[in-house]
């Protein structure tokens, strides 16, 4: 009864309890960029991220405050799951989401595929679950020394994309044919030459900025 009254009081006053998140949750499925099939034996490494004030890196810890993050590998389903790390500090907020940005950075590695870095960013007091399909591109489909760029998968997760990566532009599938920088006077905005999927000789190539495209696994849908 007392708890119900307290909850009602918070709702009436507009205050919402939010627990501070130090490192956001990040889960999903790793797949082959072309086929959309889940990839087993993908090694996943965590990278230390800056503390909120950016003064120094913090060690990413996964399942307890005393255990350092270790490299893990995906099973046959290609699934991975990293729970959120929280400090346990709770704030009473008048809004549903607030705080400073916090990140979790994972590197996905598999023999025959490009190492791919993905970054998950949330607000520290938002407590959002993050799930994504992470596409890895085969080395044979890219340049020897490929250029790369971080491209959005959704509103909170970005991953590296390479020449040959499949993307969505204007609700249509394309393949990245080239990645290059604009002139410095254009603030170094990255541009991409896009080819239709599959790329056909004589097709028109378009140049579009990175904020207009979204990385996808393939045309095939992978169940969560």
Per-residue pLDDT of the chain (224 residues; tens, 9 = 90+): 433 333 333 443 457 788 888 889 999 999 999 889 999 999 999 987 766 655 455 555 444 343 445 688 999 999 999 998 887 788 777 766 678 888 999 999 999 999 999 999 988 887 788 999 999 999 876 666 678 889 999 989 999 999 889 999 988 889 998 888 765 555 556 889 999 887 777 787 889 998 899 999 865 554 54
Tokens of 177: 């044919």
Q: Which fold does the domain 18-161 belong to in CATH?
A: Immunoglobulin-like (2.60.40)
Query: Cβ distance 37 to 141 under 8 Å?
Result: no
| Closest CA relative to residue 83, chosen from 127, 135, 51 | 127
Q: What is residue 49's predicted lDDT score, i.e. its pLDDT? A: 75
> Residue 6: phi, psi to the nearest 5?
-65, -45
All structural domains of the chain with their residue ranges: 18-161, 163-211
Task: Give the residue from 134, 138, 202 showing the smallest Cα distance to 164.
Answer: 138
Residue 211's pLDDT is: 86
Q: Residue 200: its pLDDT value, please?
A: 79
Are 134 and 117 within 8 A, CB to CB?
Answer: no
Instruction: At 147, list the tokens.
Output: 């250029």
Q: ∠ CA 83-88-94 to the nearest 5 degrees?
A: 105
> Which residues are within 8 A (CB) of 177 and not within 5 positions of it... i.e. 6 or more apart?
163, 192, 193, 194, 195, 199, 205
pLDDT for 197 equals: 83
Residue 9, pLDDT score: 37
CA-based nearest residue to 80, from 106, 54, 50: 106
């Amino acid at each position: 009864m007392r708890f119900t009254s307290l909850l009602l009081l918070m709702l009436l006053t507009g205050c919402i309890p939010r627990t501070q998140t130090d490192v956001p949750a990040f889960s999903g499925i790793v797949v082959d960029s072309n086929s959309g099939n889940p990839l087993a034996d993908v090694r996943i490494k965590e990278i230390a991220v800056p503390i909120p004030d950016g003064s120094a890196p913090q060690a990413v810890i996964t399942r307890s405050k005393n255990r350092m993050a270790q490299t893990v590998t995906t099973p046959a389903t290609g699934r991975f799951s990293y729970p959120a790390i929280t400090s346990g500090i709770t704030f009473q907020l008048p809004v549903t989401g607030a705080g400073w940005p916090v990140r979790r950075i994972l590197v996905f590695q598999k023999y025959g595929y490009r190492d791919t870095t993905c970054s998950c960013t949330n607000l520290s007091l938002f407590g959002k679950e993050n799930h994504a399909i992470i596409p890895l591109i085969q080395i044979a489909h890219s340049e020897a020394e490929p250029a790369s760029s971080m491209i959005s998968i959704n509103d909170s997760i970005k991953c590296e994309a390479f020449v040959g990566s499949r993307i969505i532009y204007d609700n249509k599938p394309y393949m990245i044919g080239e990645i290059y920088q604009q002139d410095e006077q254009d603030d170094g905005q990255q541009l991409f030459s896009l080819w239709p999927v599959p790329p056909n000789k004589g097709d028109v190539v378009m140049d579009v900025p990175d904020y207009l495209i979204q990385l996808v696994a393939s045309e095939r849908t992978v169940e969560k």
